[in-house]
Chain A
Amino acid sequence: MLEMKNVGKVYRTELLETHALRDFSLSVEPGEFVAVTGPSGSGKTTFLNVTGLLESFDSGSYFLDGDDVSRLDDDARSRVRNRKIGFIFQSFNLIPDLDVRDNVEVPLRYRRMGAAERRDRVGKALDLVGLASRSRHYPSQLSGGQQQRVAIARALAGDPAILLADEPTGNLDSLMARQVMDLLEQINIMGTTIIMVTHDPELARRAHRNVQVIDGQITDFKPYEGPHAPVQLEAQAHA
């Protein structure tokens, strides 16, 4: 699913060079749930940005879903992001002016998808996260947990090859955090590959595999024990 080999990323200013990633190599199998941990400034966010094609890198190679995405131009990177990558952010990043339905369909709009198919996909994604009944609510009318579930629906609506989650429960209380984590696990069980950056060791333990990043390099990882068998998940109503 994801294959990074010797990826290097350097931030340069007039005065100094910062090696955010050094010889970073990681392989993620389809259906895996990988937690990336590490202290602040270790390179986790850079890793996530590079993985999400939000930033380019200086050396090494990166294959995503079988395609070499190392040296794509900006347009091609946008297309890959749109079709193959789903993002979940710590602060949800919903668009406040748009209601739940419109928020979820944003990536589909940029895919130039027809209205009927958009409606269908948004409906299914909202069913999955249990928020179909709130489709006309605005983000400000939802709790933090509900907002993150909308963000998850948005990430899933495009049927991505991989889901990148950056501290997905960082802004939630423990109850909501658990619900969101349960949801991510269920999504993973359905077959979606997830890479999650987190500081929380308890959350990291729920992943199949832990990768620890320090100074831009992988220093430790829990071996992969094989994917969960994909299961059919019924839409659930969440509180």
Chain B
Amino acid sequence: MFAYDLRLAALSLKRHPGLSALMMLAVALGIAVCTITFTVYHAMATNPIAWKGDQLYAVTVDSWDPEEPANDKQPEMPPEQLTYRDAIALKASDIPARSLVMFKSERVVDPQQSAHKAFRTIIRVTHGDFFPMFETPFLYGSGWDRDADAGPEPVIVLSKESNEKAFGGENSVGRTVRLGDNEFRVVGVLDDWEPAPKFYDLNNGNFQKGEDAFIPFLWGETLELPAVGNTNCWKSQTIESFRDFLNSECVWVQMWAELPDRETRERYQGFIDNYVRGQKTAGRLARPLNNRLFDVDAWLDFNKVVKKDNRVLIGIALLFLAVCLVNVVGLLLSKFLNGAAMTGLRRALGASRKDVIRQHMTEVLLVGLAGGVLGLLLAAAGLAGIRVIYGDNYDRYDQLTQIDPVVVLLTLGLSLLAGFVAGMYPAWRIGHTSPAVYLKTQ
């Protein structure tokens, strides 16, 4: 019977092509606006490492000014970054399964053994645990071990893009590049890896491009590498040397810990709190004890990766869809009542109310589905437009405006639901009309 209903629905839509197109367009517009909004929201709200969401924790310590909070808008929260010395002290703990301290720097990479030119790179100065903790994919080689961290050994991991620039994309493991006066041996080349949002370091933008190269953390101190992310200071201090900077109360390094279970998490929280209590005794960290471990979702939430405006936009998009659907209801009602004589005839020939309602709902769902597909095409065009307009200003807009399978499924589901909602009343109305009334009008 479904095939028959489908055929009748197609015939009915064909009978009034203009009206049918108008209904599909109304659904498509509503769906397109929702899809565009959902796509951007979905990309922003997605936890890119959800499978480890309850194991990875951003480590924070409230080391800010005793007189005022680090963030006026969220006064209960500690600063997002740590001072260098706090981070080093917390890294010393062996409670976490893995942990890392890191910051972003900048250097020229010179692929001296290759015909390619030197180029400026953004470098993440971090511990070797970075790679297994964040499960980075490798094209060649791997990260470095803890011995290399301790050395520090002159090892480097390149991004796929940097490896293209430096070595034309060849397997460069074992080859060397020069960073300033130092030679670093390539131990690994990352495959494509662009978590969105860039959860592990949300400074300078939630959807920033990933780094070009990674080197062991202690090279930061050895080479006196400047931090190019955010550096925030609350205390007036004289900083005349790199050592002064490292010992300052400025916050500029990020720290993450892998805490596989609740017990480990509680122990590590206790360790941090004890450390801070010790520092208080020594005259530092005068603010109330407020050291927090944020899992990835909480971290994204704390950093307002999804802004309130985006949530409002979702509401507006849904309202727009509702307006479109109200129009579709009107059009459907008019169409169905216009064809009521045929429905009356079918009722006379033995169709039950259920048959009539089902037949009309099939037509409505067909409108919804066609509107959904058209809406997806419009949304794809709309997102392409956004990329063209804003693509130059944001590193990651292409990723943010990619329709993924989840959004496609959601959209088609939403279109069917929209069709269903829009069609319920007209179909019910036509199903409950006395057949005799409309047979008379024939």
In the complex, B439 has a CB within 8 A of chain A: yes
- CB within 8 A of A109: which of B4, B14, B439? B4
Q: Is the CB of B350 within 8 A of A83?
A: yes
Residue numbers in A under 8 Å from B349 (CB-CB): 81-82, 87, 106-107, 110, 154
Given A45-B440, A95-B342: A54 and B434 interface contact (C-beta under 8 Å): yes
Given A89-B439, A93-B442, A95-B342: A74 and B350 interface contact (C-beta under 8 Å): no
In the complex, B319 has a CB within 8 A of chain A: no
B415-442 Cβ-contact flags toward A at 8 Å (1 or 0): 0000000000000000000111001101
In the complex, A111 has a CB within 8 A of chain B: yes
A residues near B (Cβ < 8 Å) are: 45, 49, 52, 54-55, 74-75, 78-79, 81-83, 87, 89, 91, 93, 95, 97-98, 106-107, 109-112, 154, 158
Given A54-B435, A54-B439, A93-B442: A111 and B342 interface contact (C-beta under 8 Å): no
In the complex, B165 has a CB within 8 A of chain A: no
What's the nearest-Cβ distance from chain A to residue B357, in Å? 12
Residue numbers in A under 8 Å from B434 (CB-CB): 54-55
Q: Is the CB of A97 within 8 A of B440?
A: no
Given A55-B434, A97-B11: A78 and B442 interface contact (C-beta under 8 Å): no
Q: Is the CB of A55 within 8 A of B11?
A: no
In the complex, B117 has a CB within 8 A of chain A: no
CA distance A69 to B302 in the complex (A): 70
B348-364 Cβ-contact flags toward A at 8 Å (1 or 0): 11111111000000000
B275-313 Cβ-contact flags toward A at 8 Å (1 or 0): 000000000000000000000000000000000000000
Q: Is the CB of A52 within 8 A of B348?
A: yes
Given A89-B442, A93-B345, A112-B1: A78 and B436 interface contact (C-beta under 8 Å): no
CA distance A42 to B348 in the complex (A): 22
Q: Is the CB of A97 within 8 A of B15?
A: yes
Residue numbers in A under 8 Å from B351 (CB-CB): 78, 82, 110
In the complex, B175 has a CB within 8 A of chain A: no
Residue numbers in A under 8 Å from B440 (CB-CB): 45
In the complex, B347 has a CB within 8 A of chain A: yes
CA distance A55 to B355 in the complex (A): 18
